Amino acid sequence: MNCIIIEDEIPAQKILKSFISKIPSLNLVETFKAAIEANAFLINNTADVVFLDINLPDMSGLDFIKTIKNPPAIIITTAYPEYAVSSFELDTIVDYLVKPFSFDRFLKAINKARERIETPENTLEENNEDAIFLNVDKTLHRLVLSSILYIESDRNYITIVTDTQKLSYIDSLKNWIEKLPETQFVQVHKSYIINSKFVNKISGNTIFVKANKIPIGRTYKQELLKVLGV
Q: Please tell me the distance from the alpha carbon of residue 11 to that of residue 31, in angstroms, as a whole number.
A: 13
Q: Which helix (H) or strand (E) holds 136?
A: strand 131-136
Residue 126 has pLDDT above 50, yes or no: no
Q: Please tell me the distance from the alpha carbon of residue 171 to that of residue 176, in angstroms, as a whole number.
A: 9
Q: What is the pLDDT of residues 192-202, one digit of tens each?
A: 999 998 999 89
Residues 19 and 103 in one domain: yes
Is 35 within 8 Å of 5 (Cβ atoms)?
A: no
Residue 134 lies in a domain: no
- Residues contacting residue 25 through CB under 8 Å, at least 6 positions apart: 1, 114
Residue 129: predicted pLDDT: 58
Is 75 within 8 Å of 109 (Cβ atoms)?
A: yes
- Residues contacting residue 31 through CB under 8 Å, at least 6 positions apart: 4, 5, 7, 13, 17
User: In this structure, what CATH number is given to the domain that contains residue 28?
Assistant: 3.40.50.2300
Of the residues 119, 134, 158, the one at which a domain ends? 119
Residues 111 and 12 in one domain: yes
Residue 139 lies in a domain: no
Q: Please tell me the distance from the alpha carbon of residue 61 to that of residue 59, in angstroms, as a whole number.
A: 7
Residues 115 and 62 in one domain: yes
Q: Please tell me the distance from the alpha carbon of residue 23 to that of residue 113, in angstroms, as a whole number.
A: 13
Q: What is the DSSP letter of 140?
A: E
Residue 136 lies in a domain: no
Q: What is the DSSP letter of 169?
A: E
Q: What global pTM score does this model have?
A: 0.56
Of the residues 102, 119, 136, the one at which a domain ends? 119
Residues 45 and 81 in one domain: yes
Residues 12 and 96 in one domain: yes
**Helix, strand, or coil here: 200?**
strand
Q: Please tell me the distance from the alpha carbon of residue 88 to that of residue 187, in angstroms, as a whole number.
A: 30
Residues 8 and 104 in one domain: yes
Residue 125 lies in a domain: no
Q: What is the pLDDT of residues 153-187, one digit of tens each?
A: 998 899 999 988 899 999 999 888 888 888 889 99
User: In this structure, what CATH number is given to the domain that contains residue 182?
Assistant: 2.40.50.1020
Instruction: Calculate the average pLDDT of the chain.
Output: 86
Q: Select from 144, 221, 146 the least CA-distant residue to 181.
A: 146
Residue 79 lies in a domain: yes
Residue 204 has pLDDT above 80, yes or no: yes
Residues 84 and 166 in one domain: no
In sequence order, the β-bridge partners of residue 65 are none
* Domain of residue 8, residue span: 2-119
Residues 36 and 96 in one domain: yes
Residue 166 lies in a domain: yes
Residues 109 and 154 in one domain: no
Residue 113 has pLDDT above 80, yes or no: yes
Residue 27 lies in a domain: yes
Residues 85 and 184 in one domain: no
Residues 8 and 95 in one domain: yes
Instruction: Name the domain count of the chain.
Output: 2
Q: Which string of b and e fits 138-163 if b means at least 16 CB within 10 Å? A: ebbbbbbbbbbbbbbbeeeebebbbe
Residues 6 and 115 in one domain: yes
Residue 25 has pLDDT above 80, yes or no: yes
Identify the sign of the CA torsion 164, 166, 167, 172. positive
